Amino acid sequence: MSIKNKGVAAWLALLLGSLGVHRAYLFGLRDRWLWLHPLPTLVGLLGLNRFQVIGQHDATAAWALPLLGLMLAQGALCAIVYGLTSDERWNAHHNPGQPATPTRWLPVLAAVAALLLGGTALMATIAFSAQRYFELSAESAGG
């Protein structure tokens, strides 16, 4: 069993967490939760592509694009949780039997970056979804 580094896990969650790479690093390819990450991310990327090609009035893009934002936000949330977990708790869960070693700044910087990027992704997702909801409500009301 290899030692799992908290900083590496936090940065993987931030940068590739929407695809579940952090879960593969921590728990291996047999992790059930890992395989729930790629599909909504790829559907969200499809929505982004349709949004760029067809435009903002594409219903599929309006439905699929928020999935990408939510998956990016969940990766950032995992990075925050990993980065702010105490060294003792991290080792007890991911490196049982190993002494706690101080992790320095790598996980903290990942958590700070995750707050910025994850908050941006989440707020953009909420704003986009709310705008589309009200636009569709107005269209269906005949206005």
DSSP 88-125: HHHHHHHSTTSPP---TTHHHHHHHHHHHHHHHHHHHH
Band of the pLDDT at 143, cuts 50, 70, 90? low
The residues, any chain, with a CB within 8 Å of residue 58's CB and separated by 6 or more, are 50, 51
At 108 the pLDDT is: 95
This model's pTM is above 0.85: yes
Residue 87, pLDDT > 80, answer yes
- Mean pLDDT (whole number) for 13-38: 96
Residue 114, pLDDT > 90, answer yes
Distances (CA, A) of 67 to 46, 62, 83, 114, 143: 10, 10, 24, 18, 28
At 1 the pLDDT is: 64
Q: Which of 54-58, 70-74, 90-94 has the lowest mean pLDDT?
A: 54-58
Is 12 in contact with 28 (CB distance < 8 Å)? no
- Mean pLDDT (whole number) for 29-52: 95
Average pLDDT, the chain: 92
Residue 102, pLDDT > 90, answer no
At 18 the pLDDT is: 96
Residue 71, pLDDT > 80, answer yes
Percent composition of the chain: helix, strand, coil (DSSP 3-state, to 5):
75, 0, 25
At 124 the pLDDT is: 94
